[in-house]
Protein backbone atom coordinates (compact mmCIF):
# COMPACT_ATOMS: atom_id res chain seq x y z
CA UNK A 1 0.00 0.00 0.00
CA UNK A 2 2.80 2.37 0.99
CA UNK A 3 4.65 1.42 -2.15
CA UNK A 4 1.62 2.21 -4.29
CA UNK A 5 1.32 5.63 -2.66
CA UNK A 6 4.99 6.34 -3.32
CA UNK A 7 4.50 5.43 -6.98
CA UNK A 8 1.60 7.82 -7.34
CA UNK A 9 3.40 10.63 -5.51
CA UNK A 10 6.46 10.28 -7.69
CA UNK A 11 5.57 9.26 -11.24
CA UNK A 12 8.76 7.45 -12.14
CA UNK A 13 7.43 6.41 -15.53
CA UNK A 14 6.75 9.98 -16.67
CA UNK A 15 10.15 11.23 -15.58
CA UNK A 16 11.73 8.17 -17.16
CA UNK A 17 10.02 9.01 -20.45
CA UNK A 18 11.33 12.58 -20.31
CA UNK A 19 14.84 11.27 -19.66
CA UNK A 20 14.42 8.83 -22.52
CA UNK A 21 13.46 11.76 -24.79
CA UNK A 22 16.67 13.55 -23.82
CA UNK A 23 18.69 10.41 -24.57
CA UNK A 24 16.83 10.17 -27.90
CA UNK A 25 17.84 13.71 -28.78
CA UNK A 26 21.44 12.93 -27.84
CA UNK A 27 21.58 9.81 -30.03
CA UNK A 28 19.07 10.58 -32.80
CA UNK A 29 20.38 7.98 -35.26
CA UNK A 30 19.96 5.17 -32.77
CA UNK A 31 16.30 5.90 -32.15
CA UNK A 32 15.34 7.18 -35.62
CA UNK A 33 13.90 3.79 -36.74
CA UNK A 34 11.56 3.84 -33.73
CA UNK A 35 10.23 7.25 -34.74
CA UNK A 36 9.83 6.12 -38.34
CA UNK A 37 7.72 3.15 -37.25
CA UNK A 38 5.58 4.99 -34.67
CA UNK A 39 4.77 8.04 -36.78
CA UNK A 40 4.58 5.93 -39.95
CA UNK A 41 1.98 3.68 -38.32
CA UNK A 42 -0.04 6.71 -37.20
CA UNK A 43 0.08 8.05 -40.77
CA UNK A 44 -1.49 4.89 -42.14
CA UNK A 45 -4.93 6.21 -41.13
CA UNK A 46 -4.71 9.45 -43.18
CA UNK A 47 -3.08 7.41 -45.94
CA UNK A 48 -6.17 5.21 -46.18
CA UNK A 49 -8.60 8.12 -45.96
CA UNK A 50 -6.63 10.31 -48.40
CA UNK A 51 -7.74 8.23 -51.34
CA UNK A 52 -11.34 9.36 -50.72
CA UNK A 53 -10.37 12.96 -51.50
CA UNK A 54 -9.51 12.50 -55.14
CA UNK A 55 -6.92 11.03 -57.42
CA UNK A 56 -3.49 12.69 -57.60
CA UNK A 57 -3.04 14.90 -60.63
CA UNK A 58 -0.39 17.04 -62.30
CA UNK A 59 -1.41 20.71 -62.43
CA UNK A 60 1.45 22.00 -64.57
CA UNK A 61 1.45 21.35 -68.30
CA UNK A 62 4.49 20.52 -70.36
CA UNK A 63 5.29 24.15 -71.27
CA UNK A 64 5.20 25.20 -67.60
CA UNK A 65 7.59 22.42 -66.68
CA UNK A 66 9.88 23.38 -69.56
CA UNK A 67 9.91 27.02 -68.39
CA UNK A 68 10.81 25.96 -64.85
CA UNK A 69 13.57 23.73 -66.19
CA UNK A 70 14.92 26.61 -68.28
CA UNK A 71 15.01 28.87 -65.22
CA UNK A 72 17.06 26.28 -63.34
CA UNK A 73 19.43 25.94 -66.27
CA UNK A 74 19.78 29.72 -66.48
CA UNK A 75 20.65 29.86 -62.78
CA UNK A 76 23.32 27.17 -63.04
CA UNK A 77 24.77 28.79 -66.18
CA UNK A 78 25.02 32.14 -64.43
CA UNK A 79 26.47 30.59 -61.26
CA UNK A 80 29.09 28.97 -63.46
CA UNK A 81 29.88 32.21 -65.30
CA UNK A 82 30.52 34.10 -62.08
CA UNK A 83 32.13 31.37 -60.00
CA UNK A 84 34.57 30.25 -62.65
CA UNK A 85 35.81 33.72 -63.53
CA UNK A 86 38.04 35.87 -61.36
CA UNK A 87 40.40 33.29 -59.93
CA UNK A 88 41.45 32.15 -63.41
CA UNK A 89 43.92 35.01 -63.82
CA UNK A 90 45.69 34.03 -60.63
CA UNK A 91 45.88 30.30 -61.38
CA UNK A 92 48.57 28.83 -63.65
CA UNK A 93 47.83 28.93 -67.35
CA UNK A 94 45.98 25.87 -68.62
CA UNK A 95 44.38 24.89 -65.31
CA UNK A 96 40.87 23.53 -65.73
CA UNK A 97 38.20 24.74 -63.29
CA UNK A 98 35.77 22.14 -61.92
CA UNK A 99 32.58 23.39 -60.37
CA UNK A 100 31.53 21.35 -57.33
CA UNK A 101 28.29 21.46 -55.40
CA UNK A 102 28.42 21.81 -51.63
CA UNK A 103 26.58 19.01 -49.83
CA UNK A 104 26.93 20.22 -46.26
CA UNK A 105 28.83 22.57 -43.95
CA UNK A 106 30.16 21.47 -40.63
CA UNK A 107 32.58 22.03 -37.72
CA UNK A 108 32.81 25.39 -35.97
CA UNK A 109 35.85 27.42 -36.86
CA UNK A 110 37.00 31.02 -36.47
CA UNK A 111 34.30 33.49 -35.47
CA UNK A 112 32.00 30.56 -34.60
CA UNK A 113 31.20 29.94 -38.28
CA UNK A 114 31.17 26.49 -39.90
CA UNK A 115 34.57 25.80 -41.41
CA UNK A 116 34.37 22.55 -43.35
CA UNK A 117 32.56 21.78 -46.59
CA UNK A 118 31.61 18.40 -48.01
CA UNK A 119 31.47 18.33 -51.81
CA UNK A 120 29.43 16.29 -54.25
CA UNK A 121 32.58 14.80 -55.77
CA UNK A 122 34.74 12.11 -54.22
CA UNK A 123 38.43 12.47 -53.42
CA UNK A 124 39.11 10.01 -56.23
CA UNK A 125 37.26 12.20 -58.74
CA UNK A 126 39.34 15.18 -57.68
CA UNK A 127 42.59 13.24 -57.70
CA UNK A 128 45.45 15.42 -58.93
CA UNK A 129 43.56 18.69 -58.42
CA UNK A 130 45.20 21.65 -56.78
CA UNK A 131 44.73 22.17 -53.08
CA UNK A 132 43.17 25.60 -53.49
CA UNK A 133 39.39 26.01 -53.60
CA UNK A 134 38.02 29.25 -55.00
CA UNK A 135 34.78 31.03 -55.85
CA UNK A 136 34.90 33.89 -58.30
CA UNK A 137 38.05 35.78 -57.41
CA UNK A 138 38.08 34.64 -53.78
CA UNK A 139 40.16 31.99 -52.06
CA UNK A 140 37.81 29.92 -49.92
CA UNK A 141 39.98 27.15 -48.53
CA UNK A 142 41.95 24.00 -49.13
CA UNK A 143 40.97 20.60 -50.44
CA UNK A 144 41.83 17.82 -47.99
CA UNK A 145 43.62 14.64 -49.07
CA UNK A 146 42.28 11.22 -47.99
CA UNK A 147 44.42 9.55 -45.37
CA UNK A 148 46.32 12.73 -44.56
CA UNK A 149 45.85 15.22 -41.71
CA UNK A 150 42.21 15.93 -40.88
CA UNK A 151 41.04 13.46 -43.51
CA UNK A 152 43.10 10.60 -42.07
CA UNK A 153 40.03 8.36 -41.76
CA UNK A 154 38.58 9.26 -45.16
CA UNK A 155 38.70 6.90 -48.12
CA UNK A 156 39.22 7.92 -51.77
CA UNK A 157 35.59 7.07 -52.52
CA UNK A 158 34.21 9.41 -49.83
CA UNK A 159 32.86 12.87 -50.66
CA UNK A 160 35.78 15.30 -50.71
CA UNK A 161 36.08 17.73 -47.82
CA UNK A 162 37.29 21.31 -47.96
CA UNK A 163 38.89 23.09 -45.03
CA UNK A 164 37.92 26.76 -45.24
CA UNK A 165 40.51 29.46 -44.52
CA UNK A 166 39.10 30.00 -41.02
CA UNK A 167 39.32 26.30 -40.08
CA UNK A 168 41.49 25.98 -36.99
CA UNK A 169 43.95 23.73 -38.88
CA UNK A 170 44.08 25.91 -42.00
CA UNK A 171 47.52 27.30 -42.87
CA UNK A 172 48.31 30.96 -42.42
CA UNK A 173 48.11 33.17 -45.49
CA UNK A 174 50.58 35.77 -46.61
CA UNK A 175 48.46 38.68 -47.82
CA UNK A 176 48.17 42.41 -48.36
CA UNK A 177 45.56 44.87 -47.21
CA UNK A 178 44.82 47.27 -50.04
CA UNK A 179 44.33 50.88 -48.98
CA UNK A 180 41.24 52.21 -50.77
CA UNK A 181 42.74 55.72 -50.68
CA UNK A 182 45.63 54.61 -52.84
CA UNK A 183 48.29 54.33 -50.13
CA UNK A 184 50.87 51.56 -50.26
CA UNK A 185 49.40 48.17 -49.30
CA UNK A 186 50.11 46.74 -45.88
CA UNK A 187 51.62 43.26 -45.96
CA UNK A 188 50.14 40.99 -43.38
CA UNK A 189 49.89 37.39 -42.17
CA UNK A 190 46.30 36.17 -41.81
CA UNK A 191 45.45 33.22 -39.57
CA UNK A 192 42.22 31.48 -38.47
CA UNK A 193 40.68 33.32 -35.52
CA UNK A 194 39.35 31.63 -32.38
CA UNK A 195 35.71 30.54 -32.37
CA UNK A 196 34.85 33.31 -29.87
CA UNK A 197 36.50 36.05 -31.95
CA UNK A 198 34.31 38.63 -33.71
CA UNK A 199 35.41 37.53 -37.20
CA UNK A 200 36.57 34.27 -38.81
CA UNK A 201 40.13 35.40 -39.65
CA UNK A 202 42.53 37.56 -37.69
CA UNK A 203 45.64 39.47 -38.70
CA UNK A 204 48.70 38.16 -36.96
CA UNK A 205 51.68 40.21 -38.17
CA UNK A 206 52.22 43.45 -40.05
CA UNK A 207 55.13 44.77 -42.05
CA UNK A 208 54.38 48.24 -40.67
CA UNK A 209 52.86 47.96 -37.17
CA UNK A 210 52.78 51.74 -36.75
CA UNK A 211 50.54 52.21 -39.78
CA UNK A 212 48.50 49.23 -38.73
CA UNK A 213 47.79 50.74 -35.32
CA UNK A 214 46.39 53.82 -37.06
CA UNK A 215 43.93 51.83 -39.17
CA UNK A 216 40.59 53.18 -38.06
CA UNK A 217 38.41 52.47 -41.06
CA UNK A 218 37.25 48.96 -41.88
CA UNK A 219 36.71 47.52 -45.33
CA UNK A 220 40.23 47.25 -46.72
CA UNK A 221 40.37 44.51 -49.32
CA UNK A 222 42.71 41.69 -48.27
CA UNK A 223 44.29 39.71 -51.11
CA UNK A 224 46.81 36.90 -51.12
CA UNK A 225 50.46 37.46 -51.98
CA UNK A 226 52.24 34.73 -53.95
CA UNK A 227 53.80 32.14 -51.69
CA UNK A 228 55.62 28.89 -52.34
CA UNK A 229 56.24 26.88 -49.21
CA UNK A 230 57.11 23.23 -49.75
CA UNK A 231 54.40 21.64 -51.83
CA UNK A 232 51.94 24.44 -51.07
CA UNK A 233 51.76 27.21 -53.64
CA UNK A 234 49.33 30.07 -53.20
CA UNK A 235 49.03 32.48 -56.12
CA UNK A 236 48.77 36.20 -55.48
CA UNK A 237 45.69 38.35 -56.01
CA UNK A 238 42.98 36.08 -54.60
CA UNK A 239 40.48 37.80 -52.34
CA UNK A 240 40.51 36.66 -48.71
CA UNK A 241 37.99 39.17 -47.44
CA UNK A 242 37.79 42.64 -45.96
CA UNK A 243 39.23 44.03 -42.77
CA UNK A 244 37.20 44.64 -39.65
CA UNK A 245 38.66 46.86 -36.92
CA UNK A 246 38.20 45.89 -33.28
CA UNK A 247 38.79 48.62 -30.71
CA UNK A 248 37.40 51.77 -29.13
CA UNK A 249 35.47 54.46 -30.99
CA UNK A 250 36.59 58.11 -30.57
CA UNK A 251 34.67 59.76 -27.72
CA UNK A 252 35.45 63.40 -28.43
CA UNK A 253 38.44 63.50 -26.09
CA UNK A 254 40.46 60.42 -26.95
CA UNK A 255 41.58 59.24 -30.35
CA UNK A 256 40.12 55.95 -31.67
CA UNK A 257 42.09 52.99 -30.39
CA UNK A 258 42.66 49.93 -32.61
CA UNK A 259 43.16 46.75 -30.61
CA UNK A 260 42.85 44.09 -33.27
CA UNK A 261 42.29 43.76 -36.98
CA UNK A 262 40.22 40.89 -38.36
CA UNK A 263 39.36 39.73 -41.84
CA UNK A 264 35.85 38.70 -42.81
CA UNK A 265 35.49 36.35 -45.82
CA UNK A 266 33.30 37.49 -48.71
CA UNK A 267 30.69 34.72 -48.38
CA UNK A 268 28.87 33.24 -45.39
CA UNK A 269 29.91 29.53 -45.25
CA UNK A 270 26.33 28.34 -44.67
CA UNK A 271 25.24 30.13 -47.84
CA UNK A 272 27.84 28.49 -50.10
CA UNK A 273 26.23 26.35 -52.77
CA UNK A 274 29.02 25.91 -55.30
CA UNK A 275 32.82 26.12 -55.17
CA UNK A 276 35.56 25.70 -57.76
CA UNK A 277 38.44 23.22 -57.69
CA UNK A 278 41.33 23.49 -60.17
CA UNK A 279 42.85 20.64 -62.16
CA UNK A 280 46.38 21.38 -63.47
CA UNK A 281 46.98 21.03 -67.17
CA UNK A 282 48.34 17.63 -68.09
CA UNK A 283 46.58 15.83 -65.26
CA UNK A 284 43.92 13.52 -66.60
CA UNK A 285 40.58 13.11 -64.83
CA UNK A 286 40.27 9.61 -63.32
CA UNK A 287 38.03 7.47 -65.50
CA UNK A 288 36.34 5.22 -62.92
CA UNK A 289 36.06 7.20 -59.72
CA UNK A 290 33.16 7.08 -57.25
CA UNK A 291 30.66 9.88 -57.83
CA UNK A 292 28.36 11.35 -55.20
CA UNK A 293 26.52 14.06 -57.07
CA UNK A 294 23.92 12.05 -58.98
CA UNK A 295 20.29 12.19 -57.94
CA UNK A 296 17.40 10.05 -58.94
CA UNK A 297 13.79 11.15 -58.89
CA UNK A 298 11.34 8.81 -57.26
CA UNK A 299 7.65 9.08 -58.09
CA UNK A 300 5.28 9.79 -55.20
CA UNK A 301 1.79 10.99 -54.36
CA UNK A 302 1.17 13.98 -52.17
CA UNK A 303 -1.90 14.61 -50.01
CA UNK A 304 -2.71 17.70 -47.95
CA UNK A 305 -3.05 17.07 -44.23
CA UNK A 306 -5.70 19.09 -42.38
CA UNK A 307 -4.52 22.32 -40.76
CA UNK A 308 -3.62 25.03 -43.25
CA UNK A 309 -1.32 26.75 -40.77
CA UNK A 310 0.81 23.65 -40.36
CA UNK A 311 1.54 23.36 -44.12
CA UNK A 312 1.92 19.61 -43.76
CA UNK A 313 1.55 17.03 -46.50
CA UNK A 314 1.50 13.26 -46.50
CA UNK A 315 3.87 11.71 -49.00
CA UNK A 316 3.29 8.21 -50.32
CA UNK A 317 6.35 7.06 -52.23
CA UNK A 318 7.28 4.02 -54.25
CA UNK A 319 10.55 3.59 -52.37
CA UNK A 320 11.89 4.54 -48.94
CA UNK A 321 12.10 8.29 -48.41
CA UNK A 322 15.31 9.50 -46.75
CA UNK A 323 15.17 12.36 -44.25
CA UNK A 324 15.55 15.85 -45.73
CA UNK A 325 14.87 14.70 -49.29
CA UNK A 326 13.61 17.47 -51.58
CA UNK A 327 10.04 17.06 -52.78
CA UNK A 328 9.08 18.52 -56.15
CA UNK A 329 5.46 19.25 -56.99
CA UNK A 330 4.69 20.30 -60.57
CA UNK A 331 8.36 21.15 -61.09
CA UNK A 332 8.48 23.40 -58.03
CA UNK A 333 10.27 22.82 -54.78
CA UNK A 334 7.63 22.15 -52.13
CA UNK A 335 9.78 21.34 -49.10
CA UNK A 336 11.83 18.60 -47.55
CA UNK A 337 10.46 15.28 -46.34
CA UNK A 338 10.82 13.33 -43.14
CA UNK A 339 10.96 9.69 -44.08
CA UNK A 340 8.68 7.22 -42.32
CA UNK A 341 8.11 3.49 -42.45
CA UNK A 342 5.52 1.78 -44.68
CA UNK A 343 6.41 3.89 -47.74
CA UNK A 344 5.24 7.19 -46.34
CA UNK A 345 6.78 10.50 -45.40
CA UNK A 346 5.72 13.86 -44.03
CA UNK A 347 6.52 17.06 -45.89
CA UNK A 348 6.47 20.55 -44.46
CA UNK A 349 5.92 23.19 -47.13
CA UNK A 350 8.68 25.77 -47.54
CA UNK A 351 6.39 28.60 -46.41
CA UNK A 352 5.53 26.72 -43.21
CA UNK A 353 9.02 25.63 -42.18
CA UNK A 354 11.13 27.46 -39.66
CA UNK A 355 14.38 25.64 -40.35
CA UNK A 356 17.31 27.59 -41.83
CA UNK A 357 17.77 27.44 -45.60
CA UNK A 358 20.66 27.96 -47.95
CA UNK A 359 19.22 29.73 -50.99
CA UNK A 360 20.16 31.13 -54.37
CA UNK A 361 18.57 34.29 -55.71
CA UNK A 362 18.69 34.79 -59.47
CA UNK A 363 18.25 38.53 -59.99
CA UNK A 364 16.18 39.85 -62.86
CA UNK A 365 18.24 40.95 -65.81
CA UNK A 366 20.56 39.20 -68.19
CA UNK A 367 23.92 39.07 -66.47
CA UNK A 368 23.48 39.88 -62.78
CA UNK A 369 25.40 37.63 -60.42
CA UNK A 370 23.32 35.06 -58.49
CA UNK A 371 23.26 35.86 -54.76
CA UNK A 372 23.86 33.17 -52.15
CA UNK A 373 21.65 33.65 -49.11
CA UNK A 374 21.12 32.02 -45.76
CA UNK A 375 18.04 32.60 -43.66
CA UNK A 376 14.83 31.20 -42.29
CA UNK A 377 11.15 31.78 -42.89
CA UNK A 378 9.93 34.11 -40.20
CA UNK A 379 6.32 34.22 -41.21
CA UNK A 380 4.23 32.29 -43.68
CA UNK A 381 0.78 33.06 -44.95
CA UNK A 382 -0.75 30.73 -47.52
CA UNK A 383 1.34 31.25 -50.63
CA UNK A 384 3.66 33.92 -49.19
CA UNK A 385 6.65 33.65 -46.91
CA UNK A 386 8.84 36.28 -45.35
CA UNK A 387 12.45 35.21 -45.12
CA UNK A 388 14.71 36.78 -42.50
CA UNK A 389 18.22 36.64 -43.90
CA UNK A 390 21.41 36.33 -41.92
CA UNK A 391 23.78 39.21 -42.59
CA UNK A 392 27.08 38.53 -44.31
CA UNK A 393 30.10 37.70 -42.12
CA UNK A 394 31.11 41.36 -42.27
CA UNK A 395 27.85 42.27 -40.50
CA UNK A 396 26.57 44.13 -43.55
CA UNK A 397 23.17 43.19 -44.93
CA UNK A 398 23.09 41.18 -48.10
CA UNK A 399 22.19 43.24 -51.15
CA UNK A 400 18.67 42.17 -52.03
CA UNK A 401 16.96 42.56 -55.38
CA UNK A 402 13.91 41.10 -57.09
CA UNK A 403 14.33 37.79 -58.80
CA UNK A 404 13.71 34.07 -58.71
CA UNK A 405 14.49 32.13 -55.56
CA UNK A 406 16.04 28.66 -55.72
CA UNK A 407 17.34 26.15 -53.21
CA UNK A 408 21.00 26.34 -52.34
CA UNK A 409 22.98 23.62 -50.62
CA UNK A 410 20.66 21.95 -48.12
CA UNK A 411 22.08 18.48 -47.69
CA UNK A 412 22.69 15.38 -49.76
CA UNK A 413 19.12 14.89 -50.92
CA UNK A 414 18.26 18.52 -51.62
CA UNK A 415 20.37 19.80 -54.52
CA UNK A 416 20.87 23.44 -55.43
CA UNK A 417 18.83 24.94 -58.24
CA UNK A 418 15.26 23.85 -57.45
CA UNK A 419 12.87 26.71 -58.05
CA UNK A 420 10.94 27.91 -54.99
CA UNK A 421 9.18 31.05 -56.16
CA UNK A 422 9.40 34.72 -56.97
CA UNK A 423 11.20 36.94 -54.45
CA UNK A 424 11.32 40.66 -53.82
CA UNK A 425 12.89 42.70 -51.02
CA UNK A 426 10.59 43.92 -48.27
CA UNK A 427 9.81 47.63 -48.46
CA UNK A 428 10.59 48.40 -44.84
CA UNK A 429 13.14 45.92 -43.54
CA UNK A 430 16.48 45.57 -45.28
CA UNK A 431 17.06 41.91 -44.36
CA UNK A 432 13.59 40.63 -45.15
CA UNK A 433 12.72 38.94 -48.44
CA UNK A 434 9.14 38.34 -49.48
CA UNK A 435 8.71 35.10 -51.41
CA UNK A 436 5.60 34.25 -53.36
CA UNK A 437 5.16 30.59 -54.16
CA UNK A 438 2.55 29.21 -56.57
CA UNK A 439 -0.53 28.07 -54.64
CA UNK A 440 -1.07 24.33 -55.11
CA UNK A 441 -3.54 22.25 -53.19
CA UNK A 442 -5.24 18.88 -53.29
CA UNK A 443 -3.85 15.48 -54.07
CA UNK A 444 -1.07 15.66 -56.60
CA UNK A 445 1.75 13.75 -58.21
CA UNK A 446 5.18 14.59 -56.82
CA UNK A 447 8.80 13.57 -57.12
CA UNK A 448 11.31 12.89 -54.37
CA UNK A 449 15.00 13.63 -54.90
CA UNK A 450 17.22 10.88 -53.60
CA UNK A 451 20.98 10.93 -53.90
CA UNK A 452 22.15 7.71 -55.46
CA UNK A 453 24.76 5.68 -53.62
CA UNK A 454 28.32 6.29 -54.79
CA UNK A 455 28.86 4.60 -58.13
Partner 1 sequence: MRRWLWWFLLVPQGFLIAGLVADLGLPALDMAVLAGLFLAWFADRRALPFLLLGVAVGRAMVDEATLPVHILVVGIPVALCLPLRGLFVAQHWLWQAFAAAAFAIVVPKLSGLCGRVFDQPSVSAQLDGWAVVWSALLMPPLLLLTRHLPPFAAFVERGFDGGRA
Query: Interface with partner 1 by CB under 8 A: which residues?
Result: 7-8, 11, 13-18, 20-22, 24-25, 28, 31, 35, 38-39, 41-43, 45-46, 305-312, 338, 346, 348, 352-355, 376, 380
Nearer to partner 1, 311 or 363 (CB): 311
Our CB check for partner 1 shows the closer of 116 and 131 to be 116
Q: Residue 312 Cβ, how far from partner 1 at the closest point, in Å?
A: 6
C-beta closer to partner 1: residue 46 or 80: 46
Output 140 or 352, the one with its CB closest to partner 1: 352
Closer residue to partner 1 in complex, CB, 10/248: 10
Nearer of residues 92 and 442 to partner 1, judged by Cβ: 442
Q: How far is the CB of 350 from partner 1 (least distance, A)?
A: 11
Assess contact for 147 and 171: CB atoms under 8 A: no
- Interstrand relation of 325-329 and 444-451 (parallel, antiparallel or unpaired): antiparallel
| Minimal distance, residue 407 CB to partner 1, in Å | 17
Sign of the dihedral through C-alpha 286, 290, 293, 295 = positive
Closest contact distance (angstroms) between CB of 427 and partner 1 is 23
CA distance 442 to 316: 14
Return the number of the residue (44 or 291) whose C-beta is nearest partner 1.
Answer: 44
Minimal distance, residue 323 CB to partner 1, in Å: 10
**How far apart are CB 172 and partner 1 at their closest, in Å?**
32
**Least spacing, CB of residue 27 vs partner 1, in Å:** 10
Residue with smaller CB distance to partner 1, 122 or 444: 444
Whole-number minimum distance, CB 6 to partner 1, in Å? 11
Amino acid sequence: MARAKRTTAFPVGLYGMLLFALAWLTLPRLFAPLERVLVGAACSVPRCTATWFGEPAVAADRSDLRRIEELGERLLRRVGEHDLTGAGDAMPLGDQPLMCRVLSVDRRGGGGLPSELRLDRSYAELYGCRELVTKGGALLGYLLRPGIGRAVDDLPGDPARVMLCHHRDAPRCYAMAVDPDGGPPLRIVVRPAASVDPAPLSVDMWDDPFRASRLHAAGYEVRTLPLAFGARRVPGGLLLGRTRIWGYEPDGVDEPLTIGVYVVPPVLPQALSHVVVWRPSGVEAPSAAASHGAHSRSAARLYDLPGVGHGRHLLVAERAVPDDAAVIQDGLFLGTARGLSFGTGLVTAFVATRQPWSLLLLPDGDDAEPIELYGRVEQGDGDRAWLRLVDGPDGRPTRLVSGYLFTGSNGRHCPAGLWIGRAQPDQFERDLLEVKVPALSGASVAEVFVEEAAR
